[in-house]
Amino acid sequence: MGPQLMRLLAIILLVILLAGCGQKGPLYLPESDSKPETLTG
C-alpha cells in the first residue's frame, strides 16, 4: 500500500473514532447504535 492510501485510512479511522466517542454527530455510525435518531444529532 502506498503512503497516500495509508494516510487516507488513518484519516478515516480517526473520523470513525471521533464520531463514535461521544460526538454522535452526522458521522456517527448507525451500526454502533441501531437507533436512527443518532444520525440526526
Q: What is the pLDDT of residue 14?
A: 87
Q: Tell me which amino acid residue 32 is.
A: S
Q: What is the pLDDT of residue 16?
A: 80
| Residue pLDDT, tens place only, 1-41 | 799 999 999 999 988 877 665 555 555 555 555 555 555 54
- SS3 at position 5: helix
Q: What is the pLDDT of residue 15?
A: 83
DSSP letters along the chain, please? --HHHHHHHHHHHHHHHHIIIII-STT--TTTS--THHHH-
**Single pTM value for the model:** 0.44
Q: Which three cell numbers stand for residue 4?
A: 497516500
Distance CA 21, CA 3 (A): 27
Quick one: CA dihedral 25, 27, 30, 33, positive or negative?
A: negative
